[in-house]
Structure formats: structure tokens, C-alpha cells
Structure 1
């Protein structure tokens, strides 16, 4: 089973450039074309949040238009730039919530690896949160007697990456409770896929591999200083490809580039101005 993880699209209404620099709609088009040209082609695509930049209906309409060329199954969770209502209205088939608790939590059982979507959105705020509703839902899913190997996909990582301005807005409330749940079920949870940080990061968390995917458009600057400023860099856009071997009960992750940049690779601040 081959899983393509695309994350942090940040599509703007009317193909608006992110930070007045980044053609995010064009980047998504290239990502879709890349996925569709792959041999073998992925079985499923997981979008791990920040589908839109402001969460408007017009943004999601543009995403839907671009995704008409993606003819393999795909599923979504919201990121902090999204809004649940418009996202679900635009992509009901990609957010198949069965019991409407107000969150985009659901399970996909159509593939050899069970996929569990976990909603970390604290609407209107940059950081993520998991409240009692989401945590109880996850416990119930993992105790439903299915017993299959599974992976969780969500937007906000529950870890400290060392990129200070992003760590300040990663998963906050509920992270410890999530770690306890994951630890109990670490034999069957084979991975956690996250977005949000715009960088490829791999670690072991609560006894489980955790991977943060790179953005399909622009990356956050790699800066481990405690006072490092918020900035992005035009490194090549990329995605994660997760290969699930059901026979070996093992998962391998590849970093795949979607486009090339010959450089230079300038750094920009959140106002779109070049940082020298």
C-alpha cells in the first residue's frame, strides 16, 4: 500500500500568492500532476491540513477544481488555516464523518492499513488542541475490537521540533493525554502523520514513529535558535510517501520532491520581505 501525504497547501482565493511570493495554487497543480504520473500510483492521498489559507468557500472551490485531476481516493483533516464548516461542505467525501460531534474525526477502513483522522483544530487560533470529545472518540476507535494495524493523521504535531516559533503553535492541550493513549496502543499504531511545520521531520513519540510532512509549496526556515524569527524559504516543494507492507507489518517513509529550484533559496519573513 502506497500513501501520498500532501500538506499545507495554503490555497488563496483567486489564486492569491501566499506572502505575495508563493504560487500555492500552481504548486498544488504540480503536486497533483506528480502523484498522477507516479508508477506505481499511490493508493490514497492524505491531506494533513491547511487546505485553504483563510478557510473560505472560494478557496475550497479552487482546491476542488484543481483536485478534479486527482482521480485516486483522498481524505482530509483541517489545519489551523481551515474552517470546519466550509471544508466539510466542499469535500464531504474527503471528510466522511459518521457521527457528527462537530469535529472532523473519522476512520477509513478501505485499505490494508486502517487510517484514523484526528481533528486538532482550535478554530481561529494557530495552535492545536485535543479536547475530551476527540480523545474519547480516539479511545473508542482503538478499543472497538477491530485490532487492525492503523495510522493516525492529524495537522498539529504533539512534539517540540526546536523551531521555536512553530513549537509555540503546535499541539498544546491534550498532547499528554494523546501520548498516553498512543503508548497503550503502540503495537498497532504504526505511525502518526502530521503537517503544520512545513518541514520533513521524523522521530519516535510515545513509542510510535511520528512524521511531519513538508509543504507542497513553501517550507519553514530551518532555524534552531531560541529566538529564531518566523520565516519561510523557497526550498523545493515535497511530499512524504509512506509504504505499508502488510505482510511485514512495517511502514517505510520516503521524501519525494515535487519540483526543482536551482537556487538561490531566499528566506522571507511573514510580511513577504526578504531576510538578509
Structure 2
């Protein structure tokens, strides 16, 4: 099973730029082209939050003009820039999304069990796993010991990027305790950080993913200002091997190549 992860799309209404300079819609179009050009077609695409920039209905309509080009199943979790009700209303044809309450979901039809976890706190940039959300997750994990991947927006660890950690996840310690109790969780994929970061928590690899648009500046000072960079955009590919996940970062764009290492006779090219 091959899973593509995209995150932090921040699509705005047509003609609008994020922060006055980032054409997130153009970057989203490039992301879709790169996904469609993959030689190995993903079985599903998981979007780990911040689908749009202000949670507005028109933004979601604009986003759908891109996402609807994807031929494979698509699963969504909200980020701090999303709105639960507007997201739900924009994707009525996604039956895994609950009609009320938190946008948690579980899908059992693949070789790996997929769980979407809602960490959104309306009106705030931080995320939260409150007692109700943790109880839902505990009950859901207790229902099956199948290999499981959890998709969520806010990462459950400190990244060292000070301004992002200040809007991190409340309840991360309780989440880590659940990972210790339920070793079938072999992978946790997150967004929010706009860059690839990896950590081991219990038996699970937990990671964040590049954005298809702008990236958070890599500044590991605790007092670092909030800044972003126009570093190369990307997404992640996670392949289930039967015993674990093998992950690749994929760059978005067109580049020279591929070129052979050998000439047609088989001789090494100097």
C-alpha cells in the first residue's frame, strides 16, 4: 500500500496571496501535477490539515478544483487554519467525515488501519487533545490490533523551532502514553511545521511533512521569530511493507532527468 501525504496547502480565494506574497493556489496546482506524474500511483492521499487559509467556503470551493483531479481516495483532517463546519460542508461526498462534533474518523478497508485525529482549537493556532478526544482515540485503538497509521495536524513533540512549539499540541504527553499502550500504531504523520521532521515515540515513527507552498524557516533558537522561506516544496510517500512504513520525501516541480548511469552497452559513464 502506498500513501501520499500532502499538508499545509493554505489555499486562498482566487487571486489572493498568502502573506501578500505566496500564490498557494499555483503551488497547489503544481503539487497535483507532481502527484499525477508519479510512476507508482498512490492508493490513497492523506491531507494533514491547513487545507485552506481562513476556513472560508469559497476557499474550500477553490481547493476542490484541484483535489477533484485526483483519481484515488482522499482523506482529510483539519488544521488550525480550517473550519470544522465549512470543511464538512465542502466535502459532503466524504462519508468518513462525521456529521457533528470532532472530525475524527477511522477507515478499516486497507492493509493498514487509517485513523484521522482532529486537533483543531477554533480561533487558536495551537492544537489540543482534550479528554474527550483522547477517550475517542483510546476506544478506537482498543477495538483493533491491526497495524495502524494516525494522521493529525499538530505534531505531538517539541521540534526545537521556538515559535512553532509555542503553538504546538496540548495533550501530547497523554498521546505518547497511548502510543506506549497500543504498539499497533506504527506511524503517525502530521503537518503544521511546513518542513520534514522525524522523531521516535514508543514504537512509532512520528513525522511532519513539507508544504507544497512555503516552508517554516529552519531556526532552532528558542526565541526565533516567526518566519517562512520559499524553500523547495514537497510531499511524502509512505509505503507499507507488511512490517512497517518506508517513507520518501518527494520534491514538487520539474527537474532535468532522469538520466542513465550507464550507456546503452552497459558501460559505466565517466
Structure 2 counterpart of 1:257, from 242, 251, 259: 251
Q: What is the deviation of 1:260? A: 6.4
Aligned to 2:224: 228
Aligned to 1:215: 211
Q: Supply the distance in 2 between the matched residues of 1:176 and 1:224 (Cα, whole angstroms).
A: 22
Q: What is the deviation of 1:101? A: 5.3
TM-score when scaled to structure 2?
A: 0.91
TM-score when scaled to structure 1?
A: 0.89
Is the aligned partner of 1:67 residue 2:67?
Answer: yes
Deviates more, 1:87-96 or 1:158-167: 87-96
Q: What is the deviation of 1:21? A: 1.1
Q: Which of the pair has more CA radius of gyration? A: 2
Q: What is the deviation of 1:77? A: 0.4
Structure 2 counterpart of 1:177, from 149, 174, 179: 174
Q: What is the deviation of 1:228? A: 1.1
Is the aligned partner of 1:137 residue 2:136?
Answer: yes
8 Å CA contact 1:80–1:127 kept in 2: the answer is yes
Q: Supply the distance in 1 between the matched residues of 2:230 and 2:163 (Cα, whole angstroms).
A: 18
Aligned to 2:199: 203
Is the aligned partner of 1:49 residue 2:39?
Answer: no
Q: What is the deviation of 1:13? A: 1.2
- Cα gap change, 1:165/1:251 in structure 2, threshold over 3 Å: closer, same or farther? same
8 Å CA contact 1:95–1:104 kept in 2: the answer is no
Is the aligned partner of 1:22 residue 2:18?
Answer: no
- Cα gap change, 1:6/1:94 in structure 2, threshold over 3 Å: closer, same or farther? farther
Q: Supply the distance in 2 between the matched residues of 1:167 and 1:205 (Cα, whole angstroms).
A: 17
8 Å CA contact 2:186–2:203 kept in 1: the answer is no
Q: 1:76 aligns to what SS in structure 2?
A: strand
Aligned to 1:267: none
Kindly report structure 1 stretches of 4+ aligned residues shifted beyond 2 Å.
Answer: 92-95
Aligned to 1:239: 235
- Cα gap change, 1:97/1:67 in structure 2, threshold over 3 Å: closer, same or farther? closer
Q: Supply the distance in 1 between the matched residues of 2:125 and 2:77 (Cα, whole angstroms).
A: 15
Aligned to 1:271: none
Gaps of 5+ in 2: 256-270
